[in-house]
Amino acid sequence: MKDATHKKLIEATRKLIWKQGINKTTVEHICVEAGLSKMTFYRAYENKFDIIKEILDENYANVAVAFEEIFSKSIPFIEKMMELIYYNMEINKEVSPDLIRDIIKQDNPQMKEYMQEKVDFYRELSLKYIIIEQKKGNFRDDVKIEFVSFFLDHINELILDDRLNNIYESTDELINQLTKMFYFGILRRN
């Protein structure tokens, strides 16, 4: 497949899943958005889940790189936290509640295990840096890693909570608030 065609398919799929989620996005929607035929799509991908996985793999790889870059900087820890929060705000910009819901509560057998792997990946990545920073004295030592792990496992449920969603104008605003509360809540107070 030509790079331009591949790029059109990726951009169209990303735009659609960010706006309406995975479950509501169809191959037909992707092709219309990309201005390409279904035949072109099926020459490159077996189904919509293959292209969605490609997009999500890229996004999660970018998250890992960003964490590594932020935490390896020689800047005060509070600045690292601010960069991490800003990065989180940027990657969640314009993410629809439908996409969050589809990631967290995926019913499709083709995607359910894959999505759980991605949720686990993000939790483990976060825990890795929290453990390192806790040992350096930057996170409160009275906060148990098991609690942090539990919280990270359940933060997605908070993102989907109707009461919380009614408080904020957008899902990304809610995610940003939860992220700030989480990180600033475990910071060591000087």
User: For the segment 61-96, what is each residue's pLDDT rounded down to a tens digit?
Assistant: 999 999 999 999 999 888 988 898 888 888 877 778
- Residue 77's alpha-carbon distances to 96, 132, 142, 182, 184, in angstroms, are 31, 12, 18, 15, 12
Asked whether residue 19 is assigned to any structural domain, the reply reads no
Asked whether residue 58 is assigned to any structural domain, the reply reads yes
Asked whether residue 18 is assigned to any structural domain, the reply reads no
Looking at the DSSP bridge assignments, the partners of residue 187 are: 139
Number of structural domains found in the chain: 1
Structure token pair of residue 70: 């932020």
Asked whether residue 113 is assigned to any structural domain, the reply reads yes
Asked whether residue 71 is assigned to any structural domain, the reply reads yes
pLDDT of residue 190: 62
- Residue 135's alpha-carbon distances to 132, 138, 150, 175, in angstroms, are 5, 8, 19, 27
Asked whether residue 21 is assigned to any structural domain, the reply reads no
Q: Give me the CATH number covering residue 89.
A: 1.10.357
Q: pLDDT, tens digit, for every residue of 7-55? A: 999 999 999 999 999 999 999 999 999 999 999 999 999 999 999 999 9
Asked whether residue 45 is assigned to any structural domain, the reply reads no
Band (102; pLDDT cuts 50, 70, 90): confident
Asked whether residue 97 is assigned to any structural domain, the reply reads yes
Of 4-8, 69-73, 102-106, the poorest mean pLDDT is in 102-106
Q: Report how far residue 32's alpha carbon sits from residue 20's, in angstroms, rounded to the nearest whole number.
A: 15
Domain range for 142: 52-186
- Residue 154's alpha-carbon distances to 4, 44, 101, 148, 182, in angstroms, are 40, 36, 13, 10, 12
